Structure 1
């Protein structure tokens, strides 16, 4: 009996020590717990704060997923590279989270050459970055660098949320680029009047805004972009407020598991996504509010970006689009609108489990969004005639 009490006391002491260590270290040495952005890559292009990364083939023979599933790493590669396009307002490393929850590693394991467009870290000094900068200037430069590096004119694009919109805007404004063979969008809000939670507000304001525009010289785009700039802390707070109970619940789970090193590291890595957000450029917010919020022009099929007309009927790429069944930011109807604005003949729409983040990289995403996208893309990509050697 005395021995059992001694063992219990010892376990309690060890658990308490681990609890206190993690409670202190996660604040003092936060970066030691952040396990994202660890896959080997090379920066092949840079322009200002934007860069393009190439991810080297995995050196391991097996990739273990969070669920415990074991994937054999395919050495024979597909010839059409996959270009991942992140949204604004987050860091691009959300595509490369924990080793067993990395979208990049998942597609590398399945034989794809993977590239990532990284929009960088805008600050108030970049408040003048507009849709024109992203879709007309940087996007074609990024694809040119990828095509040169890969040796393939054909590419596939995968965009999450705003990343999907930027991919669509690029294609719609560059009809001469007919080599984007495949396009995948995940939780991308096409019809802003059906988006959650501001769609109704946009609809209500659209008529008076249009009247003011016709009757006066006032134009939203004539205002200073600095006034529309959203700093990262505000953006993080707004995102968390879409599911405040979830934020509290996850924090309570952290407290209960604070003695578990692995749990703390996983929590800290995921939490970094929602807590540490880059600024959202003011001119882009301005563009989105006017063209897509008030006037819902993407859902209507076309609008101008700079001097170019973005006509979404000019898009003929094979299309796969996803919406989350519990997404509090992008409604199913808002995402489904993509099916009517493009001219693609090969197009598929899937509703999958998850909220706005979960549909992209939640615990179920590997068996839903990822698996569906992988199967769909493999059928529409061309394999190399020979395997690629281990790096």
Structure 2
């Protein structure tokens, strides 16, 4: 590249990041909305031939407090596109925005209503085919709890990418428990109840604090890559992802705080709800778990705990891959690591 081209590219990228519309336009994978209701929009990613190579369907399950675009950040960072390329029939359930009006929503809404309904609709759209669930982060926990609580559902397998399955292994949890012990946990729950949940700005701040090294290195990173359009486009996709983060419903977060962070229900292989107990040992389908070597949000030991608690599954495969919490799902190495493990796992089910 000539000096003139270098200067031109640098100027164009600097303008795009500072004042323009961005390095590259948003280009979501082609899809069709099959159902649109609050917190349960169901999307089918378009395949060239509606009869995909496999008779099964794949349902992508996002977590709360993260946009469903996690599965389709950009063309080269899209698990949804990869599944289409490899002959799968991927679908996505999208919870949309979480507001004060949703403050009474809890774990029960997802594992006994929203996800079971999505699974049945996906199966019906594929002529009654079984469904492979792929959940990222808490979406992986949701998927496992849904399979455990609803054995009648047409679920063929569950894949959890970075799911928190033991809060004893989570960074900072012992310290939070120590603080909660001084107040009986009242302070945190009272604030969350008053606010109706955790608002979106706080979830965005928490994610950035967890990746503080990236935030601190950002100015130098931009300066060092100002002529590398592809690298800046990847950075921009993560920035957009963070900017779109929704919040947590109040009831859900209080359950997460009390049942997971304080009591570590999931680490003990269960979830205690108001009217029932869901046991991970009741998962009766093959499971794939993916942990990230550099994941500080869900350390890989918290994912690996599923080998101990998913005792009813016919098989539990655990893979450790390079990358951060988001990186193991859609980072530069995901295609050769996480996606390859997933492709092998699904092929074995075929």
With structure 2 as the length reference, what TM-score do the two structures score?
Answer: 0.89
Q: Displacement, 1:204?
A: 3.6
Superposed counterparts of 1:116-265, under 5 Å: 116-177=92-153, 179-196=154-171, 198-204=172-178, 225-227=193-195, 229-265=197-233
Structure 2 residue 350 is matched with structure 1 residue 360: no
Match of 1:315 in 2: 283
Name 1:387's counterpart in structure 2: none
Give the alignment partner of residue 25 of structure 1, picking from 16, 22, 38. Answer: 16
The whole-number CA distance in structure 2 between the counterparts of 1:365 and 1:304 is 34
1:49 corresponding residue in structure 2: 39
**1:90 aligns to what?**
66
Mapped to 2, the partners of 1:244 and 1:329 lie a distance apart of: 12
SS in 1 for 2:151: coil
CA gap 1:153/1:222 in 2 versus in 1, 3 angstroms: farther
Deviations, residues 246-294 of structure 1 (Å, cap 9, x unaligned): 2232442223333444443332112212343112222211110011111
Contact 2:100 2:195 in 1 (8 A): no
State whether residues 322 and 350 of structure 1, in contact with CA within 8 Å, keep that contact through their aligned partners in structure 2.
yes
Unmatched segments (≥5 aa) in structure 2: none
Say which one has the larger Rg.
1
- Corresponding residue to 1:336 among 304, 312, 326: 304
- Distance in 1, matches of 2:163 and 2:195, equals 25
In the alignment, is the contact (CA less than 8 A) between 1:228 and 1:286 conserved in 2? no
Q: Check the 8 A contact 1:233/1:276 in 2, yes or no.
A: no
Instruction: Label 1:125 to 1:27 Cα distance change in 2 as closer, same or farther (>3 A).
Output: farther
Task: Write the deviation string for residues 22-63 of structure 1: whole angstroms up to 9, x where unpaired.
Answer: 333334443673435x1111111222132111011148xxxx
RMSD: 2.8
Tell me, yes or no, if structure 1 residue 283 matches structure 2 residue 251. Answer: yes
TM-score by length of 1: 0.81
**1:266 aligned to which of 234, 246, 257:** 234
